[in-house]
Amino acid sequence: MATMASEEDKYFEVALGLVKSAGRMVRDAFDRPFSEVQTKASNTDLVTETDQNVEILLTRGLSDAFPDHQFIGEESAAAGKKIEFTDAPTWIIDPIDGTTNFVHRIPMICICVGLAVKKELRMGIVYNPITNELYTARTGQGAFKNGFRIYVSKTEELSKSVIASTLGIHNIVSQGPSWLDKSLSNARRQVEAGVRGIRSFGSAAINMVCVAQGSLDAYVEYGLHCWDVAAAAVILKEAGGVVIDPTGGEFNMMSRKVLCASTKELATQLSGMLTHANYEPEG
Ligand code: LIP
């Protein structure tokens, strides 16, 4: 009987091949001048035919190879598929993280594929086919960018940090109009703490892999989904980073929020200064 390790080698190999094919699909679409756009839950929640086709390519390819595996995917969920997270090997897929960037032809986009087994994240692939940056990690085996090992920075102080955060405009729908005050005052406190800069790349996974490779020191966001963070969380942890709930508790990819940092000290400092938002967990 195949060992767990060799089974997972096979999972990784198949997923990587499919992500590369999906990358060609995204790249071809990106090279055309525009995409037809539809909205989902709100006018800031966008989807294109490419998002849908990439998710079909990945889920079909993986389920042909591994018929007993389960799937959680952004566009399947948008089409009404219930999010069910069980002990079965489960692929968590965001066909294009950064759809608004994709629609506006801003090259900060990526395909995200994560795998959980018995509810534990085991591997993550984040691929930007425009810049050709491929991030991969498997639990216990380190994190890599285009085959080279990556590590987080050693930054422990906010005053030496470049961080990513976002206004999270879409949260006004779920959290009400007071969201904007909360979000702006969180940003204000970060500025007052003396951060070197605040970035917002429009893709949770790109923000997270930027922390993983040491370009950014921390990242916090509210109102995300498991497909935005699952794959990148493995990469960040394997790069030596900290992934927690913004309140300081344990990270739960179903809780719709995340705080990432290069060090525990920085994570604690950032977490302690934020006014938090709560969500109904998904799944
Ligand atoms: C997007 C995120 C982005 C976040 C958006 C959205 P999508 O994912 O990665 O950072 O601010 O709310 O969730 O919809 O482009 O896959």
Q: What is the pLDDT of residues 247-274, one digit of tens each?
A: 999 999 999 999 999 999 999 999 999 9
Contacts of 28 (CB under 8 A, 6+ apart): none
Is residue 229 located within the same domain as residue 134? no
Is residue 77 located within the same domain as residue 124? yes
C-beta 204 within 6 A of ligand 1? yes
Last residue of a domain, one of 149, 174, 206: 149
As a whole number of angstroms, the distance between CA 10 and CA 15 comes to: 8
Tell me if 236 is assigned to some domain: yes
To the nearest 10°, the Cα dihedral for 205, 150, 144, 253? -30
C-beta 170 within 6 A of ligand 1? yes
Q: Which atom of ligand 1 is nearest to the CA of 228?
A: 9
Is residue 145 located within the same domain as residue 250? no
Tell me if 279 is assigned to some domain: no
Count of beta carbons in the 10 Å neighbourhood of residue 160: 14
User: pLDDT by residue (tens digit) across 211-242?
Assistant: 999 999 999 999 999 999 999 999 999 999 99
Is residue 141 located within the same domain as residue 202? no
Q: Is the pLDDT reported for residue 2 higher than 60?
A: no
Tell me if 283 is assigned to some domain: no
As a whole number of angstroms, the distance between CA 197 and CA 199 comes to: 7
User: pLDDT by residue (tens digit) across 24-52?
Assistant: 999 999 999 999 999 998 888 999 999 99
Where does the pLDDT of residue 3 fall: very low under 50, low under 70, confident under 90, or very high at 90 and above?
A: low
Is residue 162 located within the same domain as residue 180? yes
- In sequence order, what are the beta bridge partners of 65? none
Is residue 264 located within the same domain as residue 167? yes
**68 annotated as a binding-site residue:** no
Tell me if 259 is assigned to some domain: yes
Is residue 255 located within the same domain as residue 183? yes
**Residue among 263, 269, 257, 255 nearest 221 (CA):** 257
Distance from the alpha carbon of residue 3 to the mean position of ligand 1, in angstroms: 36
Strands (DSSP E) found in 63-175: 70-73, 90-97, 110-117, 120-128, 133-138, 143-145, 148-149, 162-164
CATH of the domain at 244: 3.40.190.80
User: pLDDT by residue (tens digit) across 137-192?
Assistant: 999 999 999 999 999 999 999 999 999 999 898 898 888 889 999 999 999 999 99
**94 annotated as a binding-site residue:** yes
Is residue 180 located within the same domain as residue 93? no
Is residue 38 located within the same domain as residue 82? yes
Q: Which atom of ligand 1 is nearest to the CA of 101?
A: 15
Where does the pLDDT of residue 1 fall: very low under 50, low under 70, confident under 90, or very high at 90 and above?
A: very low
Tell me if 230 is assigned to some domain: yes
Is residue 140 located within the same domain as residue 206? no
As a whole number of angstroms, the distance between CA 131 and CA 279 comes to: 34
Is residue 143 located within the same domain as residue 37? yes
Distance from the alpha carbon of residue 15 to the mean position of ligand 1, in angstroms: 22
Tell me if 184 is assigned to some domain: yes
pLDDT score of 173: 85
Distance from the alpha carbon of residue 223 to the mean position of ligand 1, in angstroms: 9
Q: What is the mean pLDDT of the chain?
A: 96
**Residues with catalytic roles:** 74, 94, 96-97, 99, 228
Is residue 104 located within the same domain as residue 220? no
CATH of the domain at 111: 3.30.540.10
The total number of structural domains in the chain stands at 2
Q: How far is CA 130 from CA 24, 82, 105, in A?
A: 9, 31, 10
**228 annotated as a binding-site residue:** yes
**163 annotated as a binding-site residue:** no
Q: How far is CA 86 from CA 78, 95, 257, in A?
A: 20, 21, 20
Last residue of a domain, one of 149, 180, 213: 149
Distance from the alpha carbon of residue 46 to the mean position of ligand 1, in angstroms: 9
Q: Which atom of ligand 1 is nearest to the CA of 97?
A: 16
Q: Identify the domain containing residue 81 by its residue range.
A: 2-149
As a whole number of angstroms, the distance between CA 234 and CA 115 comes to: 9
Asked if 236 contacts 151 with a C-beta cutoff of 8 angstroms, the reply is no
